[in-house]
Every structure is written in structure tokens, then in C-alpha cells.
Amino acid sequence: MLNGRQHGGVSVTIATSLEDACAALAVEPCPLVLSGGTDLMVEVNRGSRRVGDIVVVNRVPELVGWRRKGDQLRLGAAVTFAEICGSELESLVPALAQAARTVGSPQIRNVATLGGNIATASPAGDSIPVLAALDAVLELRSAEATREVSLRDFITGVKQTCLLPGELIEAVRVPVLDGPQEFCKVGTRNAMVISVASLAILANRGSRRITVGLGSVSPAPLRASDAEDHISPHINWDGGAIPDEATIAHFARLVAGAANPIDDHRSSALYRTHAIRVLARRALSRVLGRLSAT
Amino acid sequence: MTGTRVARRTGTAPRIGESARRPDGVPKATGSFSFSSDLRHDRMLWGGTLRSPHPSARIRSVQIGEAVAVTGVHAVLLSDDVPGQKVFGLEHRDQPVLAGDVVRYEGEPIAIVAADHPEAVRTALRAIVVDYEVLTPVVDPMTVEETESIHPDGNLIRRIHLRHGSQDVVGDVQVEGTYEVAMQDQAFLGPESGMAVPADDGSIDLYVATQWLHSDRDQVADCMGLDPEKVRLTLAGVGGAFGAREDLSLHVHLCMLAQHTGRPVKMVYSREESFHGHVHRHPAQMWYRHHADRDGTLVRVEARLILDGGAYASSSSAVIANATCFAAGPYRVPSAEINGAAVRTNNPPCGAMRGFGAVQTCFAHEAQMDRLAKALGMDPVELRLHNALVPGDKLLTGQTITGTAPVAEVIRTCAEHPSAAAIATDPLELPGGTGRTADPGHVVRGEALALGFKNLMFSEGFDDSSEASCRLLDGVATITSACAEVGQGFVTVVQQIVREVLGVDEVVLLQASTADVGSAGSTSASRQTWMSGGAVQEACGQVRVQLLERLATQCGVDTDDLVLADGQIVSLSGGLEVDLAVATEEPVEASVVFRHAPTWPLDEHGQGSAHVAFAFSAHRAIVDVDTELGLVKVVELTTSQDVGRVLNPMQVVGQLEGGAAQGVGLAVMEEVLVTDGRIRNASFTDYLVPTALDMPPVEIAALIEQAEPGAPFGAKGIGEAPAISSTAAVAAAIRNATGLNLPRVPVRPVDIVFPEGAT
């Protein structure tokens, strides 16, 4: 661990082990956790966040990399989006890889991390709708304790989480599902854009469920539960016929009905809801097409 | 920190008409180029600016006691500390160096600080207490003339009521439309930055990224209360300009802090600050009515144009002149009434940006031409060809076009160029891009052509000049010019010109500075290749004549017998062959002030030969539109441009691609969002410019080469035209795909999805 590097009065600790990181965080006032820095440094440069002491965690071995255990994936919090969209994860969690590909530019994806995206807790976080649809579980750790909390309990509001002082996100656990997945995101540029509305639809042959996560249309992670309940029984999980257009349209309306968007400088709430409805229909059609083809 | 740019000729170094690589190209691509933000000095302090959070307020008091007490702070200065003239401005000096009793736009500077560390600067800025009486900002340009003045100079910056030809002409067919262009930002990458270094004699050196060193120098000197020769400006590495560096930003602030502290002071704006720190492209509200005969002949154009100039005049009066003069496009229009006004509001100040008034009206007049074609049942390309200007025609200003005007050639070559645009199957190449929102079945395609033009160089009787000198010594030509290289390629073209005229191996272009040479004029209005290129060409020509005369006298031969070529002077009659380096062991020098043909002011009816020359361009856009989500992919842009003569083909392609990219940006995404006078997207997170997935390949159908009289080698400026017709073409193609009116750019998703009353 490199400790106490002074930069204009700010102490920067580059943690090289999980124990070191937790120890460095266990002080008052609690230092900021820096991983890729692609959110934090924007706020710092804009002057909207004053920097206190910093603990850098993206070189902690326990936080780097991912592994598969049965039907579960354990992704270290410091796994980068470049690693997610350029690896075997593309086939294990395709929607997460699709979402990762929409994060910023290649330079951003090379350093931005999954844990950072979650901890920032922006409604527009690109990984959030996928993780919500996957029922992701977060492993949190502090010097004293570890605990597990679901993503949906973790993010409590706009840029609000239940992370306690001294705690960091160690890993994210998601299931490997049997079934096609789709992630779609609307922005006003064809790449490198903050989401105006996004949506993940995952098919799970094992549980015979469709799950739907929505992004940028609510303060906290959102599932379209009514739409999931509606569409799941209509699907012939053993292959063959797909639901008719009216059923799909109703599903899309239910998904849009779950959205609770705001007007801001990136879009109107009206357009966001409209976009979610369109994305729901298109993404479901893609999922159903692949379900029936296999 | 200064340096010279040296190009050693290898015997094959590019001359006129050949592609020359930029000397700063590789350094910029690899990160070794020194930008103005890289300036360093051992003893330097850091500067910072306190800006108004309110678009309109009275300042009751400013308390700086706590800021002065911050450790490391060396100066906190206010309006009262401005040593000379308190206001600056390009055309009207109406903008305070530091706001005193009133602020007129969000982000207006109020106080400046110098400290030994950027963090101390920030701490001091936070410690300044300003007591504001917040006022309701005046933000609607349509009603501002009936509103109480927000500035002693009034709310109208300039009105031009142009009347051309008979005023009682009525066409068989009339089309009417109202159009809107949003505020665009130049979006250069290098934020405002510079360094002022005080000298013992009370003079100041200012190193800064700018477009016109001498105009800056004169304004800074006035504000500093110094004689102009006591302020020396040297061009620091420019990270893009596009009009945004025509006005002063931190110039006077740096000099005040340096003079006050006796130390070099450096300042670099943050990205957010930069959005407040420079002018933008004027938002425009435009009403048009076109009249034509049934055969498509234009007989009259009426228009009302309102440009929102924001809080200060900047170059608004010249921008509205361009918008008015070129309001009908490059068409023969025998009768017109154009009522153009630039007005003052509490919105961000607007001024110069690539295209300079012609971009806004091009969007409108081209929409009108398409509307007219539809009303006539005529092919839109045929309608344009039918009305295209030719040399000898009159403009709306009554000015006769005496130079080249290959308008029909530009239209025809662009329209006839085959398209290479296939239907995409890769979702990345469809509207929505990486968001994977569309499948090919969700997409409709549209195609359209637009035509645009504007003036080259300064207009309306402005005494527009450029000085340059050439010194030939030991076979090396050294060029001195204050021309600001802002990316346009003067550094390459000047070498090509010198080599062409003098046949030398080596050309040295000295760092642009006010200390060494007179004004080169502004790097704007597509003028530097013509003006500073012309000055260099003439200076080199004089050196050549002097050299040959000297040698002829020395050798006792006739001057006409001598020829200078490829580093040798030889006599045609034989017997004499002198190496140029040997012939110039004694230097030969010449200095030239170059002027273009004179222009005249517009009269009270907007009539007069106000412009020097014109450049014309056409763009054809092919777009794919996801109508359900309102997302657009510009698939292909094809362009033809009237260039006079191609001096550096590689640079021409670069300018045509770059200008088109800014045009695509304005068509589909670029907008400074302003609500109640406040910018809501002052970042590159939310002010979007095209990425590689948004910018299509630019197919160059034709570069029309008709030598322009009076221009060096017949070359016209090429930088602005690409940004003019590209926006109009993309918007028209989206109309063609969707069948919607789309009277506003940028075209937003909601404009396509909810076309009635888009919000």
C-alpha cells in the first residue's frame, strides 16, 4: 500500500489489498473511494464535489477479475466495462455486455468499473437496469464486517445508497441464465451518450420468467413487475409459437406504465415513457424471436 | 516558451497544389504539441475568475476581505481596479472587463484572483461575498425591443432593413414558413488559457490562444491604460477556435493580475467556465415568404430575421449583416425585403462562429426552396439550377458579382455524384448506434440537397489588411506574419507559397507576435489564405525581383536573362549558374501590407457593394430515421465546393470534413440549452458533438477550380462553406424521410415523435 501521498493537502491511499483498503477507509471522516474515477473526477473538475482523502481501490486483487461458480458469476467491483464487453461475459451475461458497450468512450470503458457505476447510483447508470433484472446481489465489506444486499435495496434514491461509512463494494453476484437477453438504450447521440431511457429484458427458461429492468426513468432501480407477470405465462417456454401482437403491445404498455420519469435537460418525461414503450416492444420481439428459434 | 516552426525541404517538399502535411499534425496527435494551457513559468501564479450565478442582477456590494486573507493569495481585483478603459468589444466597446454595478448574463466575470496554487485560487473565489439584487432576466429576443433597456446602448444592436428592386412584386406561387436555429457552441477542445508576464519597464507580454493578435493587443492596451507597444501578444498553441476566440476572454484579467503582482500569471478555464467564457452562434428566429412564377423563377423574397445577440454586442452587427445580405441564398432574386435585427438580451453573448450568420439563413432559405419546389411540383434540384446565380448577376444588396460564381456547377456535380450508401445491417450503423435500439425494419431513408454561400473576408468598407515580410538569407526564407494559426493550415500553405515563388529549400515561419510585424487581420471570414497568403506571396515576389536585379547588376547581365528555379539562379543565355544560398549570403528582404479590393458600407436600404468575394457549396445528405424513436443516423454526406484553386488537397479535404461535422452537429444534436438565461448543459457530457458513429463519410463530388481574380493563385477561402449547407441538407433529408416540416434545428427526437407542439 502506498500511503499518505500528499497532493495539495489531500491524502491519496492506493490500496493493494482488500485488508489495506478497508483499513484505510476505517477513519473519520470517511475517505472517498476512487475506482476508475470517471464519475468522481467529473464532479471534482466541475467543482461540485470537494475532495477529501481518497482511497484508490482498483488495484486491489480481490476486487479485480471475475469467476464463475456453477450458475453464479462473481464480478469483482473493479471489473472494467472494457473487460465486461470484451470477454466470455458477452455470452454469459449478454445484456450486461451490451450495456457495457454503451458506457462512454473506449478510454472511459478501459477504466470505469462496475462497482463504481453502482456506487455512483445515477438513475442513468448503464449497468443498473441489467443488474436489476438479474436480481444482482452486492457483497459489501468494511474493516469490521461483511454483508450482502440486493442491488435494489442498495440504491435508495438518486445518487443515494445504503453504503455505510468505511464500507466498499467488494463484488457483484449475478446468475447465468438460460435464455436470450436484450439491452437497449436511447440517447441523443449514436455513441458515448448519457442514457435518456434504457431497458433490459432477460428470459429465464429455468424459472420460465421474463424479467425487465428499466433505466433513467426512476430515481432508483426499477423492475416492470406487472409486465413480467403478464408476459411470462404467455410464452411457450418449450419453443414454438410466440405471443400475438396484442399481447406484446399490452406488455409494452405495462412496462411503460411502470416508468416514473422526470423532465430534465436531456429529455421530457413524455418522451422517456414513449421510448420505454417502444424499446419494450422491440426488445421483447428480439428475445421471443430467439426463444422460438432455439 | 516561444519557438520557430522549421520545415526542411528535401527536394520534394510540397508546392502549390500538392498535399502538404501539417508540421503540427504529429505533435498534436501524439501529445507533444504545446497548447496555451501548457504554458509554464518558474515564478508563475495561478489566476481564477469569480462569475455571476445570475443572468441579471444589480451588485450592491462585493466583500473581498476574507479572500485576500487566504494563504497564498496575491491579488483580488474588481472592476475599480481596471487601470484603463473599463469596457472592451470587437465592434462596440460595450462589455465590462469586470462587472461593476450590474451583471447582464450568467457567468459574467466580477472578480479575479491570483494565488500561488489553484486550490488557493478556488478557496479565495469561494470567500468573495457578493450581495446581489436579483432581477428578472430579459430573455425573449422577439419582444426585447419593447422592453426596458438592459444596457446603456439599448436593446437593439443593429437593424438592417434591406429593400431590393421593386417592392410591389407578387409571385404566382407563394410559400411561407417560420424557422428557428438554436444556439450552437464552437466546442473547441482547448479551453481559454494564457499567461501574462510583466516586464521591468511596465510593459507586459501576453501569451494567449487567439484569432487576431493585434485586435486583442489594442483592446488590452486600452483596458490596461498602456500604449499599444507596451503590450506584446504572442500566439500560444491554439486548441481550436471556430470564431470563439475572436473576442477577449481572460486577456485583460491576466494582464491586470500580472501587473498588480509583478509575477507571471497563468489562467486556464474549466470546461464549464469555457461555455460561459466565449460567445456562441446566434440563435435565430426567421420568417420567410418566397414568390415565384409558375415556371419556378424566383421573383421576390421577404424575410424577417431576429438574432439573439445576448448581453453584449461582440460581432453581432456584422453577423446580422451577413444573415441579411445572404438571406435568400445563392439565387437570382430581383425583388426582396429583408428585415434583419440583432438584439440584446440577458442570454449568453453570441458572436462569431464558422459560417457567421449565413448558417442560420441557409437553413431557412433552403427549407423554403424545397417548399417552393413542392408547391410548384418541380424537382428541387431543378428549381435550384433554374435560379442559380451566375457571374454578372446582382445580389440582394444590388452588388454585381464580378468574381467567379460556379453555382450551377456546384449543384450539378453534387446532385449527380453516385451514392455509395448501402442499407446497414450492423445495429451500430443504424439510428441509435451502440444503444441497439433499431432493427433495419424500423428505419426509413431520406435524401436531400442544399446549397449555401457566404462572403470571403471582411465587408462593408472595413480596411482589411495583412502585413508580412520575407527575408532570404543563405538560401533560407524567413517569413514574419502575425497570422494566427488556429488549425486552418496557414503553417503549411505559407511554406507552399514561399517555395512556389522563391524555389527555396527551407522556409522558417516565425512565431506570430505583435512585437515583430503589423496586423495580419483576423483568422476568420475564410480570409487568411487570401490575405496573409497574399501578403507572403507579394513579399516573396518582391524579394525575388530584388535578388535578380542585384545579381544582374553584379554580373553585368540583363535581369530578364535570369531565372530563379529550384534553388538555382541561371541565365537563359548560358554561362551563369549561381546557387541560391550563395546568391543570398547578403540578405534580401521585403515587407508588404496586402489589401483586398475595397468594399463599401450598406446604405439605409441595405444596398451597396459591401463584399469582396463569395464561396459556394452544396451538400447532399442521406439519412436513416427511426421515426418511432425520433433517432437519426446521417448515412452519407456528399459535397461540391467552389474553391477557386486547391492549394493543399489534404487540407481542403480536412476542412470540408470538419466543417461538415459541425454542420451535422447543428442539424441533429448541438444546442446550448438556455432557460431563463441559464445554460443547462455546460459540459461535453451534455453538449453533444458528433462522434465517429454520428459523422458519416464525406464524399467530395467536386472541387470546382475557377481562379478567383485578386486571390493568391486564384484560391478562395474554404473553411466556412462546409459548415453552411451541411446543416440544411441534413435537416432536409430528415424531412424527406419523415414527411414532417421540421422547422427547427437541431432536430430533436421529440420533434419527430411528437411533431405537433414538441416539448
Q: Do A188 and B693 touch (CB under 8 A)?
A: no
pLDDT at B284: 98
Residues B42-89 pLDDT 10s: 999 999 999 999 999 999 999 999 999 999 999 999 999 999 999 999
Q: What is the mean pLDDT of residues B683-704?
A: 97
Q: DSSP string of B675-728?
A: ETTEES--STTTS----TTTSPPEEEEEEE--PPTTSGGGPPP-SSGGGTHHHH
- The Cα of A171 is separated from the nearest Cα of chain B by a number of Å equal to 26
Q: Retrieve residue B114's grid coordinates.
A: 491570483
Task: Assess whether A209 and A235 both reside in one domain.
Answer: yes
Task: Assess whether A75 and A160 both reside in one domain.
Answer: yes
CATH of the domain at A265: 3.30.390.50
Alpha-carbon distance B371 to B378, whole Å?
Answer: 10
pLDDT at B759: 42
Q: What is the mean pLDDT of residues B263-286?
A: 97
φ, ψ of residue B77 in degrees (nearest 5): -120, 150
B408-B412-B413-B415 Cα dihedral, nearest 10 degrees? 140
Alpha-carbon distance B234 to B207, whole Å?
Answer: 5
- Grid look-up 417592392 returns B167
Amino acid at residue number A92: L
Q: Retrieve residue B302's grid coordinates.
A: 421577404
The CA-atom distances, in angstroms, between A72 and each of A66, A80, A137, B393 are 11, 19, 11, 76
Alpha-carbon distance B710 to B300, whole Å?
Answer: 32
R_g of chain B, CA atoms, integer Å: 27
Give yes or no for residue B6 having a pLDDT over 60: no
pLDDT at A218: 97
Q: What is the mean pLDDT of residues B516-532?
A: 97
Task: Assess whether A166 and A198 both reside in one domain.
Answer: no
φ, ψ of residue B538 in degrees (nearest 5): -70, -40
Residues of B in contact with A102 (CB under 8 A): 434-435
Of the listed ranges A84-88, B6-10, B206-210, B384-388, the least confidently predicted one is B6-10
CATH 3.30.365.10, applies to B5-33+465-595: yes
Phi-psi map region of B521: left, alpha, beta (phi>0 left; psi -120 to 50 alpha): left
Task: Assess whether A170 and A209 both reside in one domain.
Answer: no
Substitution target from A182, A189, A194 for chain B, most B beta carbons within 10 A: A189
Residue of chain B with shortest Cα separation from A265: B680
B549-B551-B556-B557 Cα dihedral, nearest 10 degrees? -70
Average pLDDT, chain B: 96
Alpha-carbon distance B434 to B412, whole Å?
Answer: 36
- The Cα of A195 is separated from the nearest Cα of chain B by a number of Å equal to 9
Task: Assess whether A132 and A251 both reside in one domain.
Answer: no
Q: What is the mean pLDDT of residues B659-673?
A: 98
Pick one of 3.30.365.10, 3.40.50.620, 1.10.150.120, 3.40.1390.30 as the CATH number of B280-459+602-753. 3.30.365.10
Total number of domains in chain A: 2
Q: Residue B363: which of B647, B34, B726, B16 has the closest Cα? A: B726
Q: Retrieve residue B205's grid coordinates.
A: 507580454
User: Residue A206: which domain range?
Assistant: 181-293
Q: What is the mean pLDDT of residues B583-605?
A: 97
Question: Is-contact B55 B135, C-beta < 8 A?
Answer: no
Give yes or no for residue A204 having a pLDDT over 50: yes
Question: Is-contact B341 B305, C-beta < 8 A?
Answer: yes
Alpha-carbon distance B498 to B16, whole Å?
Answer: 9
Amino acid at residue number A161: T
Give yes or no for residue B235 having a pLDDT over 70: yes
Q: Given A148, A175, A202, which residue is the final one in a domain? A: A175
Q: DSSP string of B101-141?
A: SEE-STT-EEEEEEESSHHHHHHHHHH-EEEEEE------T
3-state secondary structure of B154: coil
CATH superfamily, domain at B38-136+191-238+245-277: Aldehyde oxidase/xanthine dehydrogenase, a/b hammerhead (3.90.1170.50)
Q: Sorting pLDDT into bands at 50, 70 and 90, what band is B1?
A: very low
Amino acid at residue number B299: V
Q: What is the mean pLDDT of residues B280-292?
A: 98
Task: Assess whether A115 and A247 both reside in one domain.
Answer: no
- Which residues make beta-bridge pairs with B455? B614
- Grid look-up 468589444 returns B89
Residues B541-556 pLDDT 10s: 999 999 999 999 999 9
Question: Is-contact B656 B698, C-beta < 8 A?
Answer: yes
pLDDT at A2: 53
Task: Assess whether A152 and A229 both reside in one domain.
Answer: no
Q: Do A190 and B434 touch (CB under 8 A)?
A: yes
CA B206 distance to own-chain centroid: 23
Percent of chain A with pLDDT over 70: 96
User: Using N-to-C axis directions, what is the helix angle for B380-387 and B358-376, rounded to 10°?
Assistant: 110
pLDDT at A8: 54
Q: In B135-255, at which residue ranges do the beta strands (DSSP E only) sit?
A: 156-164, 173-181, 193-198, 204-208, 231-235
Q: Residue A207: which of A227, A235, A172, A226 has the closest Cα? A: A235
Q: Given A175, A193, A219, which residue is the final one in a domain? A: A175
Give yes or no for residue B326 having a pLDDT over 60: yes
Q: Do B694 and A42 touch (CB under 8 A)?
A: no
Q: Do A189 and B688 touch (CB under 8 A)?
A: yes
Residues of A in contact with B681 (CB under 8 A): 265
Asked if omega into B191 is within 30° of 0 (cis), the reply is: no
- Grid look-up 454520428 returns B694
Amino acid at residue number B601: P
Q: Domain residues of chain B, as ranges?
A: 5-33+465-595, 38-136+191-238+245-277, 280-459+602-753
Alpha-carbon distance A197 to B62, whole Å?
Answer: 44
Q: What is the mean pLDDT of residues A143-171?
A: 97
Give yes or no for residue B128 having a pLDDT over 80: yes
Give yes or no for residue B702 having a pLDDT over 60: yes
Give yes or no for residue B9 having a pLDDT over 50: no
| 3-state percent breakdown (helix, strand, coil) of chain A, nearest 5 | 35, 25, 40
pLDDT at B741: 97
Chain A residues whose C-beta is within 8 A of a chain B C-beta are 8-9, 42, 45-47, 98, 101-102, 105, 182-194, 196, 198, 265-268, 270-271, 274-275, 278-279, 282, 286
R_g of chain A, CA atoms, integer Å: 20
Question: Is-contact A215 A185, C-beta < 8 A?
Answer: yes
Closest Cβ–Cβ partner in B117, B436, B633 for A98: B436
Residues A45-102 pLDDT 10s: 877 777 789 999 999 999 999 999 999 999 999 999 999 998 899 999 999 999 999 9
pLDDT at B80: 98
Q: What is the mean pLDDT of residues B490-503?
A: 96
Give yes or no for residue A234 having a pLDDT over 60: yes
Element (H or E) spanning B28, and its range? helix B25-30
Task: Assess whether A283 and A192 both reside in one domain.
Answer: yes
- The Cα of A242 is separated from the nearest Cα of chain B by a number of Å equal to 19
pLDDT at B423: 82
CATH of the domain at A89: 3.30.465.10
The CA-atom distances, in angstroms, between B729 and each of B185, B447, B733 are 20, 8, 6
3-state secondary structure of B370: helix
Alpha-carbon distance B392 to B485, whole Å?
Answer: 35
- Grid look-up 440577458 returns B346
Residues of A in contact with B433 (CB under 8 A): 189-191
Question: Is-contact B631 B751, C-beta < 8 A?
Answer: no
The CA-atom distances, in angstroms, between A109 and each of A112, A192, A226, B690 are 5, 10, 34, 19
> Pairing mode, if any, of strands B57-63 and B102-103?
antiparallel
Q: What is the mean pLDDT of residues B165-184?
A: 98
Give yes or no for residue B7 having a pLDDT over 60: no
Give yes or no for residue B648 having a pLDDT over 80: yes
| Topology match between the domains B5-33+465-595 and B280-459+602-753 | yes
Residues of B in contact with A105 (CB under 8 A): 691
Give yes or no for residue B640 having a pLDDT over 90: yes
- Which residues make beta-bridge pairs with A175? A72
Residues of B in contact with A187 (CB under 8 A): 435
Task: Assess whether A75 and A110 both reside in one domain.
Answer: yes
Task: Assess whether A152 and A246 both reside in one domain.
Answer: no
φ, ψ of residue B451 in degrees (nearest 5): -130, 145
Residues of A in contact with B276 (CB under 8 A): none
Give yes or no for residue A7 having a pLDDT over 80: no
Give yes or no for residue A6 having a pLDDT over 60: no
Task: Assess whether A57 and A187 both reside in one domain.
Answer: no
Task: Assess whether A111 and A228 both reside in one domain.
Answer: no
Q: What ipTM is given for this predicted complex?
A: 0.95
pLDDT at B3: 36
